[in-house]
């Protein structure tokens, strides 16, 4: 019997997007993915996303998405919320994928607005999310990330108001004001999560319900520590940890940052495989920068053992 999905208010805290390990043929390495999920759980994460942009979900076929979600669901075994990512360019395809992963009892779906070479008007975007939810009934999180089809706080609030099945937003942009507006104006019960890697500490201090961002995939344990420090009110230690995390993010941030994130996770003894082409592997300079900046964030000796 599949586990009962978590409720919306249980989607909180540190929710890393899983990277997807690919073998030499660029097929999903399920054994490596299982090891990664176990590592994330050992680090104390509060949930995870499977098939998001950090997981190269934009390259996925329907079958790829099902394979990744199936492994994540089996390993999680109902211990934390599981959120599949859906990155497609039509309502029809979003519904098809949502139906395919429904058998794994996801707690929510992280859905990126349709975006290829166009921008939708507000009414079309409301209809898009309404039709997806009406078709599958699974709660939805809007992944607000596409620069040329960026949804304003007013539109996001409208969608959450008019489509009750949209339970929240992952706000992924460097503008902390937009995130603050969403937090301040959200209806009770809605979840506002940050996806701003460089601003985890201020987002936590503002009262965001949680975070889904690439940096969490690189150092899940350090992200959990930062969350716990802010929840405990220890802002002095939290700010210092924030600075260390920011240095690592600056080393990761690049056009091939998914591959660099995979390298960072590999330094903790977690197999990550290769990215799918044409994404480039990390350069020697990128690897050196990550080694240097990740060291303060890992337990003593862990980097040396994995290197």
Q: Which of 131, 136, 191 is nearest to 162 (CA)?
A: 131
Question: Which residue segments constitute the domains of the chain, with CATH numbers given?
Answer: 8-221 (3.20.20.70)
- State pLDDT tens for residues 121-139: 999 999 999 999 999 999 9
Query: Kindly report the CA angle at 137 between 134 and 140, in degrees rounded to 5?
Result: 95
- Asked if residue 73 lies in contact with residue 41, where contact means CB atoms within 8 angstroms, the answer is no
- State pLDDT tens for residues 133-183: 999 999 999 999 988 888 999 999 999 999 999 999 999 976 899 999 999
Peptide bond into 196 cis (omega under 30): no
Query: What integer is the mean pLDDT of 37-45?
Result: 98
Q: State the pTM of this model.
A: 0.95
CA distance linking residue 285 with residue 214, whole number of Å: 20
177 catalytic? Reply is: no
Active-site residue among 116, 143, 150, 253? 143
Active-site residue among 170, 190, 201, 262? 170
Mean predicted lDDT score pLDDT of the chain: 94
Give the tokens for residue 285. 């300079």
- State pLDDT tens for residues 92-103: 999 999 999 999
Per DSSP, 209 falls in state S
């Amino acid at each position: 019997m599949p586990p009962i999905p978590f409720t919306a208010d249980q989607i909180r805290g540190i929710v890393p997007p899983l990277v997807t390990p690919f073998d030499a043929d660029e097929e999903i390495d399920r054994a490596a993915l299982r090891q990664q999920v176990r590592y994330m759980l050992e680090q104390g994460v509060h949930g995870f996303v499977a098939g998001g942009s950090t997981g190269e979900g934009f390259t996925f076929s329907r079958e790829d998405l099902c394979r990744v979600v199936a492994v994540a669901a089996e390993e999680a075994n109902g211990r934390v919320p599981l959120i599949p990512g859906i990155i497609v360019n039509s309502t029809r395809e979003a519904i098809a994928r949502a139906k395919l992963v429904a058998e794994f009892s996801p707690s929510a779906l992280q859905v990126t607005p349709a975006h290829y070479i166009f921008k939708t008007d507000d009414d079309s975007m409301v209809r898009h999310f309404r039709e997806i939810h009406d078709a599958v009934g699974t709660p939805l999180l809007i992944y607000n990330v596409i620069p040329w089809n960026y949804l304003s706080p007013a539109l996001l609030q409208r969608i959450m108001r008019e489509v009750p099945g949209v339970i929240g937003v992952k706000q992924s942009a460097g503008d902390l004001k937009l995130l603050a507006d969403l937090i301040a104006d959200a209806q009770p019960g809605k979840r506002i999560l940050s996806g701003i890697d460089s601003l985890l500490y201020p987002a936590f201090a503002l009262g965001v319900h949680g975070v889904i961002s690439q940096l969490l995939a690189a150092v899940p344990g350090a992200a959990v520590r930062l969350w716990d420090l802010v929840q405990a009110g220890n802002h002095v230690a939290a700010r210092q940890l924030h600075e260390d995390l920011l240095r690592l993010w600056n080393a990761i941030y690049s056009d091939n940052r998914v591959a660099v994130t995979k390298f960072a996770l590999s330094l903790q003894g977690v197999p990550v495989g290769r990215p799918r082409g044409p994404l480039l592997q990390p350069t020697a300079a990128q690897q050196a920068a990550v080694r240097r900046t990740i060291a303060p964030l890992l337990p003593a000796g862990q980097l040396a053992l994995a290197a």
